[in-house]
Each structure stands twice: as C-alpha cells, then as structure tokens.
Amino acid sequence: MSVHKVTSQGKQRYRVRWREGGRNRRRTFGRSRAADAFDARVRCERQLRGVDHVVGTDTTLEDYVGKWWHEVAEQTLNQRTLDPYAVALDLRIVPGLGGG
C-alpha cells in the first residue's frame, strides 16, 4: 500500500496502490489528504481482518467463518457469547449467505 504523486492531463493527482485478493489495485484522488485517508483505511481494514481481503478470492463466507471461529472467536470470546453466535451462524447466516 502506498501513495504516489502522479501528473495526469497537467494536473497533480495522488494514486493509492494496494494488493487485494491476489490482484494489484489502484485508485486516484485529486487531493493528497483524500489519498492518505483512503490508504489509512485500507491498511486498517487489512489489520482488523487478520487475513488478506476476502473480496476477489474464491473463499466462501462459510470458509471464512470457520477460520475466524477457530482463530479469533474461541480465543477472545466467552462461552456465553459463543453459544448464540453458533446458533445464528449455523441456522441463519451460513445457510443464507455462505453456501459454496
């Protein structure tokens, strides 16, 4: 992830580049402040997810939830929180959204 100053049609522009779902991405802004803010947001989202972006990959919601459950939920949440999460995931969320 990075911000680069570029000239486009005689105007200064700012291009943010990052990698998502195994592909190189870019977005251009007219102001450096906007580019810096977007770059910070992309960095923050990557850190919060703990894994690379799921968008643009073949990872299903069901796969992602399974990984999240074992690596994050079981390590950080107590059993009284996990029980209703498990019911919601098993009965509503994964069957409705997570099919492979």
CA–CA gap between residue 58 and residue 96 (Å, rounded) = 18
Residue 32 confidence (pLDDT) above 80: yes
Strand order in the sheet with 2-8: 2-8, 11-20, 23-29
* pLDDT band, very low/low/confident/very high, at 36 (cuts 50, 70, 90): very high
Dihedral of the alpha carbons of 74, 77, 81, 87, in degrees to the nearest 10:
-30
The model's pTM is 0.48
Residue 59 confidence (pLDDT) above 80: no
